[in-house]
């Protein structure tokens, strides 16, 4: 089915942009606790999106990310002053890209590329601009438009509507297996970016293919 692809759509955080690249900032603010804070913050951030979606109590990703940070600080017994929150939150607008991102996007030029993310529009625009990647994407698609979060089918449908393509014409790439499972269940051609050789979840779906680096996607074109 790969030959039918007319567009590539990428998850943002953990796929293109490294949420753990702010660990250095966290370590400077909280010496010796930067790694623990960053990892707990990220896991709680994801959990809050799922919980809010299930409760039908939407808040945008900026608010969810701040609330997850407050929880992580409190859980680790760290002072959670607003100035520290603001400093760490600003880092989410300037996350580093993974080392294989720019070359892969360049190799795929000539095809339509987009981002489909839980991130709010402001967050996505800022991180893409900071990385100097505005040239790469035809669209930055935010779950905020439907006021819920992946893996809701409503979010994946945004890619179909925004790009005006059929489900099977879109290749979706994420480093999060639950995200890949959601996209595959919706009907997109889903590819799992498994950089860390993680174990796939048992969710009753499977990706079209699994790659360990983004450069391998060019073989699927």
Tens-place pLDDT, residues 33-43? 999 999 999 99
**43 membership: H or E segment, kind and range:** helix 34-55
Contact 14, 39 (CB under 8 A): no
Determine the length of the chain.
221
Which residues lie below 8 Å from residue 185, measured CB to CB, with a gap of 6+? Answer: 151, 153, 204, 205
Same domain for 145 and 43, yes or no, is no
Total structural domains within the chain? 2
What percentage of the chain reaches a pLDDT higher than 90? 93
Residue 2 pLDDT class (50, 70, 90 cuts) = low
pLDDT at 109: 87
Q: Which of 91, 113, 146 is the last residue of a domain?
A: 91
Range of the domain at 87: 19-91
Read off the tokens for 189: 């051609």
This prediction's pTM: 0.94
pLDDT at 220: 61
pLDDT digits (tens, 9 = 90+) for 131-187: 999 999 999 999 999 999 999 999 999 999 999 999 999 999 999 999 999 999 999
User: CA 167, 171, 145: angle at the middle one, nearest 5?
Assistant: 65
Same domain for 179 and 212, yes or no, is yes
pLDDT digits (tens, 9 = 90+) for 43-83: 999 999 999 999 999 999 999 999 999 999 999 999 989 99
pLDDT at 110: 86
- Would you please indicate which residues are annotated as catalytic (active-site) residues? 11
pLDDT at 3: 58
Q: Which of 30, 57, 91 is the last residue of a domain?
A: 91
pLDDT at 1: 47
Distance CA 8, CA 108 (A): 9
Is the pLDDT score of 221 beyond 70? Answer: no
Read off the tokens for 16: 């293109």
Which residues lie below 8 Å from residue 162, measured CB to CB, with a gap of 6+? Answer: 114, 139, 141
Same domain for 101 and 157, yes or no, is yes
């Amino acid at each position: 089915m790969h030959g039918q692809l007319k567009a590539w759509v990428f998850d943002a955080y953990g796929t293109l942009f490294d949420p753990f690249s702010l660990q250095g900032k966290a370590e400077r603010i909280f010496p010796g606790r930067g790694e623990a804070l960053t990892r707990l913050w990220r896991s709680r951030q994801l959990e809050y999106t799922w919980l809010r979606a299930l409760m039908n109590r939407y808040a945008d990703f900026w608010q969810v990310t701040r609330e997850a940070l407050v929880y992580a600080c409190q859980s680790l017994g760290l002072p959670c002053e607003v100035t520290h929150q603001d400093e760490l939150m600003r880092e989410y607008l300037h996350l580093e890209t993974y080392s294989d991102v720019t070359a892969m996007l360049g190799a795929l030029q000539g095809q339509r590329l987009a981002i489909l993310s839980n991130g709010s529009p402001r967050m996505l625009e800022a991180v893409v601009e900071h990385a100097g990647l505005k040239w790469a994407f035809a669209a930055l698609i935010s779950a905020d438009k439907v006021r819920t979060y992946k893996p809701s089918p409503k979010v994946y449908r945004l890619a179909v509507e925004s790009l005006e393509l059929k489900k099977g014409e879109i290749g979706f790439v994420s480093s999060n297996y639950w995200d890949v499972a959601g996209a595959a269940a919706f009907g997109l051609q889903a590819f799992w970016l498994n950089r860390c050789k993680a174990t796939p979840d048992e969710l009753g779906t499977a990706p079209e293919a699994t790659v360990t680096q983004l450069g391998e996607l060019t073989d699927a074109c």
